[in-house]
Structure 1
């Protein structure tokens, strides 16, 4: 695989008044050129910290204790702030969760979209504004030319998110990081933004890292999915493998908590308990206290990754040769049956989920 980005054994901590929080604990990830990688997990699992570390946008109390972030072979961990300023926006860009806090209320949209281009490419104001217009049309802002001189408050929430996407894409970056970009939007606008990102990726050929707590959001967007829990990757595979052949009990819980058109129950499943305190990470499997399938070894030893295919692996002792057979939740059995009987492709995932 031609990897554009490789994260190797990334370990990040935060110094707090209570002590050192071990937020990221030995993360390994890969991103191929032109693919969409979704990183999913509950709040506090380490998704956003991992993504922000790629651009070195961590808070002042954060420390990258070890590991590498290789972008086109260069280790970004070793880059100075000046070197990162030349990469941010130009080669790696980010879309944040709340578009209103990402936009300057005192600047026109045209100037904000063109700003990054003028900084990185040193082109004239007129040429930059022309390219800003092209981007606003690409993200489907109505009457884009007329609205170049409008201010953020004059746009709807969905339009502001499209503008933020235009700002991120103005230099045609090789990697686009989307950190929960649809959370603040209603379901209809959310679907439009996701479809827009898919269309833009086809046109611009950028690689996308999509951060979300909701597996359903990335059902028909991601090529591969990495599931995070307590600062670690616990399962990674193609979208098809994660949605229809999940193997980690945490992934089972995330999928079981998603509503589907086939679900006749009014109540959704919820994973019991809470994530662990990363001031003092647990000794064994971090998911052990919340795992109804846990064994004695889970409390004593951290599980290694077990490979299920060239693209699919999961860190759970349930995959060890000596592990007892277990019966997963009914929703997971249904997915396994679909996977085995129909061999669903990734294009069928969204339909199956009722999205």
Structure 2
């Protein structure tokens, strides 16, 4: 498969009054043509920082890409100037942000906001750009697009505003689309519609998507592959079936166990004990060790490498070492594995 994007050994820090926060610590992943890669994890795990670094949208005043490469079209995006990035941002790589109300300009009609990237990157006249904007509004499912073109963001519902944001992101048929929790601010019904819309649009324009979320239920519906992040690192990566039905990292077990299950009849939800690590002073060994009931002595002393589970599945846990004791995943994870035995 053709690689659209390669992230190699990415390290990013933020310089704060308290010291250097090592937010991203050696992240590696590839994005292939036409696929959806979901990046999941708790708040603070590094999902948004990783993807904003691809767009070069991190604040220059206090953030720094310490090392690593972000390869796209033979170029290292980490080394491009802001002027060079402006030619890529919005044209080849676009982003859908979490809150549509803060993404849209309240003083400008939505039609003009969709026209802006089209005029800048596609060299179209204003009349051609207007036609294209109306076509995009129709494509994302907004009724009466000719009338809606002239309206302001406050005249749209939350779901409709998110559709407008998606239309802006798709204006130049980007090859890579980054969706940063695009359904979090929406209710469940609208969320399902937006996810269905994104799947449909991906097939129509053949774009590759990086989908950031903390909701594993969303991942099951949209992703081809899943990268699980914790403490600024990817701790497990694999196909959606491998992550859901044959997870290997204790953190992934915790995420799956904390998903609501309508069949169990339990009144309480499982929660992973403890809290994420302080990245001002990253832990010496496995960052998840203090919260891991299966942690061994080596977890506190040495960081685990990525162990190969299959050609598409890797996990950074000492439990996969040949000398490690055999540990049974929690009951909720075992139940899922029984539902889908073909991945084992």
Match of 2:229 in 1: 228
User: How do 1:104-143 residues align onto structure 2 when only pairs under 5 Å count?
Assistant: 104-143=105-144
- Give, in angstroms, the shift of residue 261 of structure 1: 2.4
Q: Distance in 1 between matches of 2:55 and 2:16?
A: 22
User: How do 1:180-219 residues align onto structure 2 when only pairs under 5 Å count?
Assistant: 180-219=181-220
Match of 1:350 in 2: none
Match of 1:7 in 2: 7
Secondary structure of the 2:243 match is helix
CA shift digits 1:150-178 (9 cap, x unpaired): 00000000000000000000000000000
Match of 1:352 in 2: none
Aligned residues: 342
Q: Does 1:37 align with 2:40?
A: no
Secondary structure of the 1:68 match is strand
User: How do 1:1-355 residues align onto structure 2 when only pairs under 5 Å count?
Assistant: 1-60=1-60, 61-340=62-341, 343=342
Q: Distance in 1 between matches of 2:134 and 2:279?
A: 46
- Give, in angstroms, the shift of residue 326 of structure 1: 1.2
CA shift digits 1:57-88 (9 cap, x unpaired): 00121000000000022111111110000000
- Give, in angstroms, the shift of residue 2 of structure 1: 1.5
Secondary structure of the 2:14 match is strand
- Give, in angstroms, the shift of residue 216 of structure 1: 1.1
CA shift digits 1:7-42 (9 cap, x unpaired): 000000000000000000000010001100000000
**Structure 1 runs, 4 residues or longer, greater than 6 Å off:** none
- Give, in angstroms, the shift of residue 214 of structure 1: 1.2
- Is the deviation greater in 244-253 or in 260-269? 260-269
Q: Distance in 1 between matches of 2:189 and 2:320?
A: 39
Secondary structure of the 2:20 match is strand
Unmatched segments (≥5 aa) in structure 1: 345-355
Secondary structure of the 2:226 match is strand
Q: Distance in 2 between matches of 1:339 and 1:207?
A: 27
Secondary structure of the 1:308 match is strand
CA shift digits 1:279-318 (9 cap, x unpaired): 0000000000000010111000000111111000100001
- Give, in angstroms, the shift of residue 122 of structure 1: 2.2
Q: Distance in 2 between matches of 1:25 and 1:130?
A: 45
Q: Distance in 1 between matches of 2:233 and 2:212?
A: 15
Q: Distance in 2 between matches of 1:327 and 1:50?
A: 32
Q: Tell me how large the CA RMSD over aligned residues is.
A: 0.8
Unmatched segments (≥5 aa) in structure 2: none
Secondary structure of the 1:196 match is helix
- Give, in angstroms, the shift of residue 337 of structure 1: 1.4
TM-score (norm 1): 0.95
Q: Distance in 2 between matches of 1:2 and 1:205?
A: 13
Q: Distance in 1 between matches of 2:288 and 2:82?
A: 36
Secondary structure of the 1:260 match is coil
Q: Distance in 1 between matches of 2:255 and 2:74?
A: 34
Secondary structure of the 2:154 match is helix
- Give, in angstroms, the shift of residue 329 of structure 1: 0.7
